[in-house]
Amino acid sequence: MTTALGVLLPGFEGLEASDWLRRAVAEGLGGVVLFARNVRSPEQVAALVAALRAEREDVLVAIDEEGGDVTRLDAATGSSTPGNLALGAAGDVELTEQVAAEIGSRLAELGIDLDLAPVADVNVDARSPIVGVRSFGSDPNLVAVHTAAFVRGLQSQGVAACAKHFPGHGATKADSHVEMPVLERVDLAPFAAAIDAGVQAVMPAHAVAFEYDSLPATLSRRLVTGLLRGSLHFDGLVVSDGMDMHALAQHQGAAAEALVAGVDALCLGGTPRSEADLEEFTAALAVVPESRLTEAAGRISDVSRWAAQGRASRPPAPAGAGAEAARRALRYEGEVRVGPQAAVVRLDPPASWAAGPVPWGLGGEVPLESMDGRPLVLVVRDLHRHPWQQRVVAAHPDAVVVEMGAPVLRPRARGYVATYGAARPNAEAAREVLGL
């Protein structure tokens, strides 16, 4: 049972390590994944990580800190660094590397080993509810060079990067949190670039690429062992996406299938877990050969040790790259200067499964009925995906529209601002050009 525990990375509830979690770590639990529910302050997170390390030094601590929409450290306020689409729009790979180093520096200070980033997906289908601004763009070559830069920056701080979602999640309009996506094409160039840059981990997609297999990539030996490890020569850690996502719901025994396919670490992720859950998963892994479990657990420990060594010798990361990237990403046209008296109205779509309910917008928003003849600013997010937003925008052609998602649909408007993301630096860049 201890060996089976060694391949599990559960999420959990609370700001402190519970007794059951401490026991599991001491008995050989591979690691944990931190979510926003585990974060109150840097001091609290550092204490939580230290408490886990007191039980076993090489326990792996992971987090989803992509920057932009997907943030755990800044879930209460919105991310302090722009996301991938803004970095791709800024078009400077050195700046991308610096932003990733800023993220890595924060994580290293907390003792975190593995960041489940960057997203290496190419944004092929603009209808995707799950990729969008999390991608560096729609050009595979651009995505490849920025993916590699992000890997270098993050890992320069002694924090392992994880390129996701292999072999690419961008060519589908489906969200694997709620259904099984089918990939219309795959883009391997960003993953090859990440591997060339020395990426420590790769995450397969809960998505089917019929070009290779009828099974989702997470469960496909052809994709994980054949393509990723064989053709692309990746010998590092393969980490699953959340095993509780609905895309895998129809696959009984998915945890064991993933291990046999070549996945090393099973994220039990978004749903808070318990001691009983761990017992259930370890029992389900009894069919996996002991040699495969030992190999997988060993790769998890290897990444933890690699990160500890890297944190001990990391160079300081310069500050300010995120704000610079947000300013350089911003695009605008038409009459956009509205001044501080403008009425700012946010048209708020549901949060994505990956991001969760993170604050966004320009600040100071008012109801649409409160404009009182003032210049109107309509703040939207992925306008092309939300017909109700389109109807509101169409009814106010004299407004300035600020797009804080993917700028796919350019509406008729007095002025138009595209921020390429909804992080705090993106909002500040927009406020500057609007004169708010």
Nearest CA to 84 out of 117, 106, 124 is that of 117
Q: What is the pTM of this model?
A: 0.95
Strands (E) across 105-198 are located at 114-115, 160-166
pLDDT tens-digit map of 115-160 = 999 999 999 888 777 789 999 999 999 999 999 999 999 999 999 9
Please give the average per-residue pLDDT across 298-304, as a whole number: 98
Cβ–Cβ under 8 Å, residues 101 and 161: no
Tell how far CA 274 is from the center of its chain: 24
Geometric angle at alpha carbon 113, from 223 and 289, rounded to 5°: 45
Give the three-class secondary structure for 343.
strand
Q: Kindly tell me if the per-residue pLDDT of 53 is higher than 70.
A: yes
Q: Kindly tell me if the per-residue pLDDT of 70 is higher than 80.
A: yes
Beta-strand relationship, 415-418 and 331-334: antiparallel
Q: How far apart are CA 215 and CA 209, in angstroms?
A: 8
DSSP string for residues in 248-305: GTT-TTHHHHHHHHT--BEE--SS---HHHHHHHHHHGGGS-HHHHHHHHHHHHHHHH
177 is catalytic: yes
Of the two residues 200 and 273, the one the predictor is more confident about is 200
Q: Kindly tell me if the per-residue pLDDT of 287 is higher than 90.
A: yes
Q: Which of 10-19, 25-34, 181-190 bottoms out in mean pLDDT, i.e. has the lowest?
A: 181-190
Task: Return the percentage of the chain with pLDDT > 90, whole number.
Answer: 81
Q: Kindly tell me if the per-residue pLDDT of 270 is higher than 80.
A: no
pLDDT of residue 171: 62
pLDDT tens-digit map of 224-262 = 999 999 999 999 999 999 888 765 766 668 999 999 999
pLDDT band at residue 1 using 50, 70 and 90 as cut-offs: very low
Give the three-class secondary structure for 379.
strand
Nearest CA to 31 out of 13, 3, 52 is that of 52
2-320 CATH, one of 3.30.60.50, 2.40.30.10, 3.20.20.300, 3.10.20.600: 3.20.20.300
Please give the average per-residue pLDDT across 260-283, as a whole number: 88
Cβ–Cβ under 8 Å, residues 205 and 241: yes
Nearest CA to 213 out of 223, 205, 203 is that of 223
DSSP string for residues in 27-89: TT--EEEE-GGG-S-HHHHHHHHHHHHHH-TT-EEEE---BTTB-STTTTT--SS--HHHHHH
Please give the average per-residue pLDDT across 174-184, as a whole number: 62
Q: Kindly tell me if the per-residue pLDDT of 303 is higher than 90.
A: yes
Q: Which of 146, 177, 206, 396 is catalytic?
A: 177
For residue 222, what are the CA distances in angstroms to 93, 214, 228? 32, 10, 9
169 is catalytic: no
Question: What average pLDDT does the chain have?
Answer: 93
How many residues comprise the chain? 436
Nearest CA to 34 out of 75, 77, 84, 79 is that of 75
Q: Which of 241, 264, 277, 382 is catalytic?
A: 241
Cα torsion for 401, 405, 411, 414, to the nearest 10°?
A: 20
Geometric angle at alpha carbon 147, from 144 and 152, rounded to 5°: 125
Give residue limits of the domains in the chain: 2-320, 330-434
pLDDT tens-digit map of 336-359 = 999 999 999 999 998 887 788 899
